[in-house]
Amino acid sequence: MNKVIVKINSKQKGSEENVVKMEAVANHHKKGDISYVIYKETNLVDKQETSTMLKIGKDFLALTRSGGVKQQQLFAKGKVSHSDYETPYGKLHMMVKTHRFDIISDVKHHIIKIDYALYINDSWQSDNELIIKIKPAN
């Protein structure tokens, strides 16, 4: 397992534009053509810790969260995926329509760019741009 730095830049374009940036040290390993990136995040409001795993294939990203929140979401170009986003305060049904999914990789770096529409409880919430950069920690 290798240590990597994960930088996430998420832009939500709905009635307002919100940008969320996050950086974490993560564990990275490969099994065949699939990369796994695992890191922890802490909610700033209630200090709940969530473990996040990114499963990255050549044409998809599967996100799995457990702990403070629970969620499984798939991003693949042209695909629609459904999931439940569970928090201590309740559960939301989410649907994602992925419009763009690009991975730019070399030996050490991955840049994943995803554009998607987010629906919560069957109602359009926002159009989103997600950029994930993964590079060696050393």
| pLDDT, mean of residues 95-124 | 94
Q: How many CA atoms lie within 13 A of 45 on its CB side?
A: 5
Instruction: Please list the helix, strand and coil fractions of the chain in percent, rounded to the nearest 5, in that order.
Output: 0, 75, 25
Task: Write out pLDDT tens, residues 54-74.
Answer: 999 999 999 999 998 999 999
Which of 17, 28, 59 is closest to 133 using CA atoms? 28
pLDDT digits (tens, 9 = 90+) for 87-107: 888 999 999 999 999 999 887
Q: Where are the domains of the chain?
A: 2-136
pLDDT tens-place string over residues 26-39:
999 999 999 999 99
- The architecture that CATH gives domain 2-136 is Beta Barrel (2.40)
Q: What are phi and psi of 108, to 5 degrees?
A: -110, -25
